[in-house]
């Protein structure tokens, strides 16, 4: 039985390959356009399926264990205890400062290239970006943004530099909060060093696929803001 299935699959594959070759010889331009469209459609369906699978997995995990945070997109997090802190980064010195929130007066005269309010819940650290001067931030209001984690906006983020490509979307799950600014050059310098031990080059490109399977590129002149518009979480390129 199994050998018959394999036989028919092999025959089908050979027929498709033969037909594809004949089509290419008959009309090369039309064949290339058709192959591109089919490939693009398959890519969209793949990412849609993966996104849907992730959502099903989240629902199942929540049903099995309501207390399991599990990196859930859009999860209400306000019932989970949060340990707040401050993290500052200076890129020229490649130094990172971390401090408990009740000791931030020691940072009031310091300026950072990146400044984060951090929240540790169940052993995972989440980040909301602050103004680079600590005194310019209303931390009590910003804390509330940790109550709800946004939907996953970006399914795939591929960094391309010096002819090499690297997927870097996995750790973005710690940044999906309203008003966060991400993927600008300063962010990437720190993000790549912190999570991937990778250096960002002067020129680079990010190839991105969003949750609606739109594809776009951004370079060192662009960034992304995560926003709440008309009670819907979205992103904007700036």
In a domain, 71, yes or no: no
In a domain, 110, yes or no: yes
User: Residue 191: its pLDDT value, please?
Assistant: 97
Q: Which of 32, 64, 96 finishes a domain?
A: 64
As a whole number of angstroms, the distance between CA 56 and CA 37 comes to: 28
> Residues 163, 142: one domain?
no
Q: Which of 109, 130, 147 finishes a domain?
A: 147
> Residues 135, 116: one domain?
yes
User: Residue 62: its pLDDT value, please?
Assistant: 41
> Residues 88, 50: one domain?
no
Q: Is-contact 188 203, C-beta < 8 A?
A: no
Q: Is-contact 78 149, C-beta < 8 A?
A: no
> Residues 26, 11: one domain?
yes
- pLDDT tens-digit map of 172-206: 999 999 999 999 999 999 999 999 999 999 999 99
Which residues constitute the domain of residue 15?
2-64
List the alpha helices (DSSP H) in 65-146: 139-143
In a domain, 76, yes or no: no
Nearest to 125 by CA among 84, 155, 76, 154: 84
Which parts of the chain have pLDDT scores under 50? 1-3, 5-9, 14, 16, 31, 36, 51, 55-75
> Residues 135, 199: one domain?
no
> Residues 182, 233: one domain?
yes
As a whole number of angstroms, the distance between CA 113 and CA 95 comes to: 10
User: Residue 17: its pLDDT value, please?
Assistant: 53
Q: Six-digit token pair at 54?
A: 């992730």
> Residues 159, 205: one domain?
yes
> Residues 60, 103: one domain?
no
In a domain, 99, yes or no: yes
> Residues 169, 115: one domain?
no
Question: Model-level pTM?
Answer: 0.70
> Residues 12, 60: one domain?
yes
As a whole number of angstroms, the distance between CA 189 and CA 191 comes to: 6
> Residues 143, 158: one domain?
no
In a domain, 181, yes or no: yes
> Residues 158, 143: one domain?
no
Strand-pairing partners, residue 88, are 97, 115
What's the structural domain count of the chain?
3
Q: What is the DSSP string of 148-160?
A: BPPP--EEEEEEE
Element holding 92 (H helix, E strand)? none
As a whole number of angstroms, the distance between CA 90 and CA 52 comes to: 39
Which residues touch 96 (CB under 8 Å, ≥6 apart)? 87, 88, 89, 190, 194
In a domain, 130, yes or no: yes
Residue in the structure block whose two tokens are 């699959």:
9
């Amino acid at each position: 039985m199994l050998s018959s299935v394999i036989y028919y699959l092999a025959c089908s594959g050979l027929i498709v390959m033969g037909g594809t070759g004949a089509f290419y010889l008959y009309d090369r331009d039309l064949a290339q356009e058709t192959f591109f469209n089919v490939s693009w459609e398959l890519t969209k369906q793949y990412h849609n399926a993966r996104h849907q699978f992730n959502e099903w997995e989240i629902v199942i995990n929540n049903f099995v264990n309501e207390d399991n945070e599990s990196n859930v997109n859009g999860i209400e997090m306000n019932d989970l205890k949060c340990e707040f802190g401050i993290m500052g980064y200076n890129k020229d010195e490649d130094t990172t400062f971390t401090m408990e929130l009740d000791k931030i007066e020691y940072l009031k005269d310091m300026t950072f290239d990146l400044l984060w309010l951090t929240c540790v819940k169940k052993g995972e650290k989440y980040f909301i970006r602050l103004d680079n001067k600590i005194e310019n931030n209303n931390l009590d209001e910003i804390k509330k943004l940790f109550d709800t984690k946004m939907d996953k906006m970006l399914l795939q983020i591929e960094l391309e530099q010096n002819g090499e490509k690297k997927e870097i979307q996995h750790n973005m799950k710690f940044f999906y909060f309203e008003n966060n600014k991400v993927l600008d050059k300063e962010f990437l310098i720190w993000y790549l060093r912190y999570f991937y031990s990778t250096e960002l080059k002067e020129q680079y490109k990010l190839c991105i696929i969003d949750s609606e399977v739109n594809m776009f590129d951004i370079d060192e002149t662009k960034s992304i803001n995560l926003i709440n518009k008309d009670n819907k979480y979205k992103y904007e390129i700036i």
